């Protein structure tokens, strides 16, 4: 297992380097000049020169990239061009908010999607499978922003059950934090639950038709034991990949949900940085997201080995 993890880490290093080069290069070809935005309306030439010298914007592109990479290797992602706040501080403030939202959304998705997929596979050809497929298709088709606005109108405005927007840290009030994140997490989990249901159903149907399942049935294993102990364990492998990748996407893909519910999370930080041409923040955020995806893939590889012992000797 250690050799496998080491190989994945070695592959991750050039991946991160390539991602950093692409992000750094693409930002430089965007139209506009961030210094003009920072200088304000007067745009004093002395101020412009000072800002360009301070952020080394007149240096050749390779030198700028090398200087940035050197800072990253020291744990310094730079400072925001607009607020002069360290990027690491901004990420440390915003990332826990989105992580809380992503964990809650994934919890609801797993709670609904996997049992629904198992049930649809076991009840193949019945009204149960038909209903599960219709629900999954609806979950994938309904836009998050529309569902979020609808829930705000019903649950918050008409029924007054949950807060319509905002965010409260768990350290300040755990119960209020849960209530403020409940609707956003449910909205974000609908498509995830739909994807999990369909993948679980497909994997379970394939597993239930396998030879080892027929052998287990011939030996007199109970239907519940066949489904849970034999079929589900082998069907979980592709689902593990999907879960880890979906969780990685949640870190950067919760932008619309955070905007609808006014949640000051990671997604809003990315959007604001792009619109404000805050290069340092965009570079730092994208690098963190890329590292998150790589870590999620590494977690998936480890879970593969834990689920399937045969891979431990591969």
Chain length of the chain? 314
pLDDT of residue 17: 86
pLDDT of residue 107: 95
C-alpha 199/C-alpha 235 separation (Å) is 9
- Residue 79's DSSP bridge partners are 86
pLDDT of residue 116: 94
Would you list the domain boundaries of the chain?
87-313
36, two tokens: 């003009």
C-alpha 253/C-alpha 187 separation (Å) is 13
Give mean pLDDT in consecutive 10-residue pieces for the chain, a chain of 314 residues.
75 83 78 70 75 78 86 87 87 92 94 94 91 90 90 94 92 94 94 92 91 87 86 83 82 80 86 81 85 81 71 59
Taking CA atoms, 89 is separated from 28, 96, 159, 264, in Å, by 24, 12, 38, 14
Could you tell me which CATH class the domain 87-313 is placed in? mainly alpha
In three-state form (DSSP H/G/I as H, E/B as E, the rest C), the secondary structure along the chain is: CHHHHHHHHHHHHHHHHHHHHHHHHHHHCCCCCHHHHHHCCCCCHHHHHHHHHHCCCCCCHHHHHHHHHHHHHCCCCCECCCCCCEHHHHHHHHHHHHHHHHHHHHHHHHHHHHHHHHHHHHCCCCHHHHHHHHHHHHHHHCCHHHHHHHHHHHHHHHCCCCCCCCCCCCCCCHHHHHHHHHHHHHHHHHHHHHHHHHHHHHHHHHHHCCHHHHHHHHCCCCHHHHHHHHHHHHHHHHHHHHHHHHHHHHHHHCHHHHHHCCCCCHHHHHHHHHHCCCHHHHHHHHHHHHHHHHHHHHHHHHHHHHHCHHHHHC
Closest CA to 227 of 217, 237, 218: 217
pTM of the model: 0.85
C-alpha 189/C-alpha 18 separation (Å) is 31
């Amino acid at each position: 297992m250690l050799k496998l993890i080491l190989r994945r880490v070695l592959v991750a290093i050039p991946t991160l380097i390539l991602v950093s080069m692409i992000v750094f290069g693409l930002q430089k070809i965007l139209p506009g000049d961030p210094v003009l935005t920072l200088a304000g309306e007067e745009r004093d030439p002395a101020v412009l020169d000072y800002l360009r010298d301070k952020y080394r914007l007149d240096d050749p592109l390779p030198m700028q990239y090398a200087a940035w990479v050197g800072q990253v290797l020291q744990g310094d992602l730079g400072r925001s061009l607009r607020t002069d706040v360290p990027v690491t501080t901004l990420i440390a403030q915003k990332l826990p908010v989105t992580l809380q939202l992503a964990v809650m959304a994934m919890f609801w998705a797993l709670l609904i999607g996997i049992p629904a997929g198992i049930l649809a596979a076991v009840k193949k050809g019945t009204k149960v499978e038909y209903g599960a497929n219709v629900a999954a298709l609806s979950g994938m088709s309904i836009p998050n922003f529309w569902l979020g606005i609808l829930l705000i109108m019903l649950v918050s405005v008409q029924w007054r059950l949950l807060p319509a927007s905002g965010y409260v840290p768990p350290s300040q009030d755990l119960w209020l934090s849960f209530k403020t994140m409940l609707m956003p997490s449910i909205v974000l989990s609908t498509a995830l639950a739909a994807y999990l249901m369909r993948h679980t159903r497909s994997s379970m149907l394939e597993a239930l038709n396998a030879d080892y399942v027929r052998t287990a049935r011939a030996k007199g294993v109970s239907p519940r034991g066949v489904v849970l102990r034999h079929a589900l364990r082998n069907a979980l492998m592709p689902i593990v990949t999907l879960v880890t990748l979906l969780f990685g996407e949640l870190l950067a893909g919760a932008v619309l949900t955070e905007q609808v519910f006014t949640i000051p999370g990671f997604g809003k930080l990315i959007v604001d940085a792009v619109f404000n041409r805050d290069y340092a923040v965009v570079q730092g955020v994208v690098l963190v997201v890329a590292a998150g995806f790589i870590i999620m893939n590494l977690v998936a590889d480890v879970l593969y080995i834990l689920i399937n012992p045969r891979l431990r000797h591969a």
